[in-house]
Amino acid sequence: MNGSNDHPDLCPINKNDFGMKAAIFERYGAPEVVQIKDVPQPVPGPNDILIRIHATSVSSGDARIRRADPFAVRFVFGFPKPRRKILGYTFSGVVAAIGASVSQFKPGDEVFGSTDMRMGAHAEYLCFPENGVVIPKPAQLSHEEAACLPFGAHTALHYLQLAKVGPGQKVLIFGASGAVGSAAVQIAKILGAHVTGVCSTANLEFVRTLGADAVLDYTKSDQRPQADHFDVVYETVNKTPLSNCFSPLKKGGKLILGAALLKGMIAGQFKGLLEGKKVLAGVALIDLPKLHQISKWATEGRLKAMIDKTYALEEITEAHRYVDGGRKRGAVAVRV
């Protein structure tokens, strides 16, 4: 692998005897199961890049895997304990070294992306295939912003594309202040929709600043969404009763149950069949075209990473605790 020592982010050749700090979880459970430990630094194979991570994020997805919530997480990530011991779905950093066959990146390049289901970004270094979901970081974005964009934005983009949201459509977004919801409001506006965001009183102004045309406070009984009015309803947080998701939808409209678990998905599909409304649910996987699209909008200043709080890697247990609270406004960044 290629690299040099004259830049703080670059690695000397053959560093397999070097260590790094990483947030390790060896069992599922409360935030305290995550502990900072010294572990061997990963060594890139011929097609890999080694990234010195500058920022990552603790997402609701990381917290769910840590808690094994739902139980089925264990079938994917390891039973009875996690197979992959480092969480972290998104990253932003600098290429520290490259494998012998790597052609698209060079040491010193600033990059950001997503590890997808491999996880592993809650660490000082990450080894990553050069053809993975990693692209140059827009110069306008800080590492924290770049690390906090993909989780919410790719999920929102996936579902809004699936629902074929376009100009003039009326879109209602429940959970509009979360990581996914805050991205969904911005992306639905970019796609030309008329957007109504639903959140609690404390977040009304925040959702307005994201570009929502209208905001509704779900704590106020006189602010219920208009019935039979919306082309698309996107429930991003799995907190809204199914009947409240269906009633604002026009006949033939689309309901996105973006955070529903299996039981909710099945109930939604049945109700959708009965009411003549289409239900979209499932896993939103990230890919390169989506990351490029997100990056382009961010570069143009049309899509912003909303960062609620920033923690140091050493404080990651605290970051998990905050995410578990379920009240974050946008994303939680971790500076590495």
Provide the binding-site residues for ligand NAP, judged by CB under 6 A.
59-61, 64, 152, 155, 175, 177-181, 199-200, 203, 218, 236-239, 258-259, 283-284, 326-329
- CA geometry: angle 257, 259, 262, nearest 5 deg: 80
Closest CA to 175 of 218, 208, 205, 145: 218
Shortest gap between Cβ of 210 and ligand NAP (angstroms)?
Answer: 12
Min CB(294)–ligand NAP separation in Å: 14
| Three-state secondary-structure class, residue 328 | coil
Strands, E assignment, 12-117: 19-25, 34-40, 48-57, 90-98, 110-114
Minimal distance, residue 316 CB to ligand NAP, in Å: 16
Q: Which residues are CB-neighbours of 109 under 8 A, at least 6 positions away?
A: 94, 95, 136
Query: For ligand NAP, which is the closer residue by CB, 4 or 200?
Result: 200
| Residue, CB closest to ligand NAP | 178
Q: Which residue, 193 or 286, is less far from ligand NAP as judged by CB?
A: 286
Question: What is the DSSP code string of 170-235?
Answer: EEEEETTTBHHHHHHHHHHHHTT-EEEEEE-GGGHHHHHHTT-SEEEETT-TT-PPPTT-EEEEEE
Angle (CA) 283-288-290 rounded to 5° is 60
> Which residue, 186 or 203, has its beta carbon nearer to ligand NAP?
203
> Which is nearest to 146 in space by CA: 305, 297, 262, 15?
305
Q: Given the complex with ligand NAP, which of 99 and 178 has the nearer CB atom?
A: 178
* CB closer to ligand NAP, 168 vs 325: 325
Which C-beta is closer to ligand NAP: that of 34 or that of 260?
260
Least separation in angstroms between CB 37 and ligand NAP: 26
Alpha helix positions (H), the chain: 60-67, 73-77, 143-162, 179-190, 204-209, 242-246, 262-275, 288-299, 316-324
**Least distance from C-beta 240 to ligand NAP, angstroms?**
6
Length of the chain (residues): 336
Comparison of 96 and 237: residue with beta carbon closer to ligand NAP: 237
Query: In the bound complex, what is the minimum distance in angstroms from residue 261's beta carbon to ligand NAP?
Result: 9
User: Where do we find the tokens 């219920």?
Assistant: 224
**Which is closer to ligand NAP, CB of 193 or CB of 207?**
207
Minimum CB separation from ligand NAP for residue 286, in Å?
9
Retrieve residue 328's tokens. Answer: 């974050």
For residue 299, the minimal CB distance to ligand NAP (Å) is: 23
